Chain A
């Protein structure tokens, strides 16, 4: 098969990506304390020939308000590097990508830990670089406040350069190749043998200008959130266009937008499934999320079945605020309806439909120059990953758009990435 085929990531997140997933009867409610659940998910994704498992991460709880947090499942879960190290020896082919922050780690330790994961998995590890924008995380690391965006990216650039130099065996103080920079100093090479795949795969997700530039310089894979084909294509063209400046070719980066599918045999069943999930969103949680989108704090004062009140203009997130207000007026939605709408999808590309409808949409973006693959975000686990693997993957395979078996053994081979020099 020489035709270009799409890459697929299985984005694992506790009980599921839908904010109310944990309340669904077919979700595994104890996912965050059950390693066997994750072994099942990993094997399901591997049997379906996914390129990789992907774990999000934050070094802190997600929601500061304990009352709101206690109505979601996201305050506890496995730390992803230990989780993926456990899964590494329970799987044989699938890639293992974990997020880790450049703001709250040191490059020597991070490079060493991911290289160890790479050895445990025989060349299947990847690192998703994030700079961490949450003040909840910052408070766990002695900061008096979050670092400004520009500083975070400056640190991330230096961090990524040191990690890459360590992985490529190009850092050694004894030969005058130590690192003594603005944020970090490192003297010795890593004390582990070099990677079975040349170097672990570098993944990134930042969509800002600084984020795109850093990705163009260092990333092998980029995850994005894009609602429409036009939006996805604009991002795709922009990022691929930045590569030449760093001496790289367009195919050196794989761009994989996130997709939050809800799949069922018929469209009516898929819609019912979606509705069932939306009904499970606790009002407090929905209103809290909607409030954060609108950058206001007192939305709970208004009747939940009434319309959105007139809102003063605010500084933060103006485009998203306008989008919410416009939708509430256009569709005549109550606060509750609006909250459910936004809390459920969280700004990701939601497709509700049959396997063929989902495959059509993926094909259109893949062939339309808007994606090299997709990071699949099942609404609840294990049910919706099982469904995607059983119904959508075979459809994509029949169309010749996705592999029917692994051709290589490392993550770099799955993704069609060059081995670093």
Chain B
């Protein structure tokens, strides 16, 4: 049996602290970044940021441990897994930052206390998110932690999907986690691609706006009669043109789109819509737009979700899948706030008002540093 069903979801992002309210907020076109200021540098950094609307201090060291478990529990509860199934549940995790925020806090505290003995990177490795989840859910299954920049959680989902299809696992919990930390905020600022607002595919686009978000999906080989959404495949490739962006001629993007279609035995005309990656960087949107145009003679409707929750980097694959899937369940394709003026060089325009989402197949695009391009294919069917 090809594909795996989305049996349960959990989400916490700028749109709200559960998936349903997140989709509702997106339907209402809620766009609420806050202004963030980092004063520790010679020249203070100020940027818009989409934060999870909890009341904790943004860089609080205990925040991840508080935010992560409820999201995972929500997904598992909605999936209706038995205690035995939860016990053996494998975890597939995608993130760019992992526990770097905790490591920063501990190093800063050690420097303040006794600078001579302070050790940088006191926490290292990638296992902390898995450890938090295993403690919270009392699950002991295998873990796979992906660090492929902005495609990390999409690739984690691909990995889970393929192992479910092989019968290695019946269910898998796929988690995307990105939360505020200084390394990410200062690092992207140093790259000079942070903009004052997200304008995907717009002629005046200037760059990304960062966000934080934690999403969890229970993928399952089995479904119930009410389930209408199935991930049926996808593809990933590597573009070695530049470490920070896909080739702006669009060829590697077109290649991965074609691979995803071929792998799922679809033709371009069968695609009902695309959730674009839409980082709103000049080069990133160029590569994506030109790639899409090379594959699709007639363009399907295009939605970009980052204006709602910011660019949640390694978690965007799962976070945006949850929001897009939620919209499909309510039979609409989300509008794209921030898009106003078409860029003639791109030749694509995201939809600016919600459109109907019929049954059929949808593509979800993700591109990341390290040359990673990943496309997921989602199928919506009648109940």
Q: Do A and B bind each other?
A: no
